[in-house]
Amino acid sequence: MTQTSQASPLSGGESLPIARETADLRATITGWRAEGLRVGLVPTMGALHDGHLSLVRLALQKTDRVVASIFVNPTQFGPDEDFAAYPREEASDAAKLAAAGASLLYTPTVETMYPHGFSTMVTVEGVSRGLCGDRRPGHFQGVATVVTKLLMRCLPDVAVFGEKDYQQLQVLKRLARDLDIPVEILGAPVVREDDGLAMSSRNAYLTTEQRAIAPALNRTLRRVAADILGGAEVSDCLEWGIGELLKDGFSSVDYLELRDSKTLAPLDEAPDGDARLFIAAMLGKVRLIDNIGL
């Protein structure tokens, strides 16, 4: 078996073990299990920010050892999306994960995740439809497939995902329930910059001018939510929000919708149960998403 490799030592003298091979990942986790420890998993695509690190901290509240994975998953990117350009920053990511308390970084390669002849994709119906599911065909199938594989490789007690990607979180909860995967799927609140912009690895693509426009996404979402709660007609509020974003400098709005927060069924009336507003909009070539509960 290959050795678990070490990231370069950090300034504080810490280093985070890195498992590049699944056998190393499994050997480490088997050792923890033998000690009776609970294991958490935080899947990411890297270029880590405080939003990702909040997932590690939440996982640590629920488990004794946290594995973070970094895998830029080709099957969840569309042909015209940013797979090749996606930022890859392993050394600084490892340092951040160590500081946040993770015990292991797992970095599988595309070749071991999807070896020659790979033929099985996981499709979650229902909650994958609409919103990003319609705008990014195949995206949730790619996410569901890679997360199934990560869960099978780690067999964690708990896996943590961000509410930033709220539809993805519902897809993964459904997946674990439907396939009887014995894991608790936990959602963590959206971590934001001071001006309200949801943290995202893709924010790094924004020009200075676009970065100044970007907070309008969350500002508008909050205003639309307040108006709906105040009794205004939902369709009028949504239309107003879209117009506002275009005025503010967004190039286009993929969707602005009110949906049931569990089933994600569209709502066209002010809710008396759990409801959430979802938005995706383009700022030049950068696609930003956000959501808030009502």
Which residues are designated catalytic?
Answer: 52
Collapse the DSSP code of 285 into the 3-class scheme (helix H, G, I; strand E, B; otherwise coil) and give the result: coil
Q: Which is nearer to ligand AMP, 77 or 250 (CB)?
A: 77
Q: Are 278 and 256 in contact (CB under 8 A)?
A: yes
- Residue from 7, 66, 68, 188 binding ligand AMP (CB under 6 A): 188
Per CB under 6 A, the list member of 24, 157, 165, 290 interacting with ligand AMP is: 165
How many H-runs (helices) and E-runs (strands) does the chain carry?
Answer: 10, 10
Residue number with CB closer to ligand AMP (39 or 199): 199
- Minimum CB distance to ligand AMP smaller for 162 or for 241: 162
* Nearby residues of 89 by Cβ (< 8 Å), 6 or more positions away: 46, 47, 48
**Which one of 10-18, 80-88, 114-122, 191-199 is the stretch in contact with ligand AMP (CB under 6 A)?**
191-199
164 binds ligand AMP (CB under 6 A): yes
Q: Is 200 a binder of ligand AMP (CB under 6 A)? A: yes
User: Least Å distance between CB 160 and ligand AMP?
Assistant: 7
Residue 107 near ligand AMP by CB under 6 A: no
The answer to whether 38 and 159 are in contact (CB under 8 A) is: no
- How far is residue 110 from each of residues 33, 47, 114, 207, measured CA to CA in Å? 27, 17, 6, 30
Residue selected from 29, 68, 191, 216 as contacting ligand AMP according to rule CB under 6 A: 191
Question: Distance between CA 52 and CA 103 in Å, rounded?
Answer: 15
Piece in contact with ligand AMP (CB under 6 A), picked from 16-24, 45-53, 116-124, 231-239: 45-53
With 0-12 / 13-18 / 19 or more C-beta atoms within 10 angstroms meaning exposed / middle / buried, residue 287 is buried
Tokens of 123: 């499709």
Contact predicate 190/164, CB 8 Å: yes
Residues contacting residue 293 through CB under 8 Å, at least 6 positions apart: 261, 274, 275, 276
Q: Least distance to ligand AMP from the beta carbon of 14, Å?
A: 22
Among 77, 140, 161, 205, binds ligand AMP (CB under 6 A): 161
Residue range at the interface with ligand AMP (CB under 6 A); choices 29-37, 43-51, 120-128, 173-181: 43-51
Positions that interact with ligand AMP (CB under 6 A): 44-45, 51-52, 54-55, 161-162, 164-165, 188, 190-191, 198-201
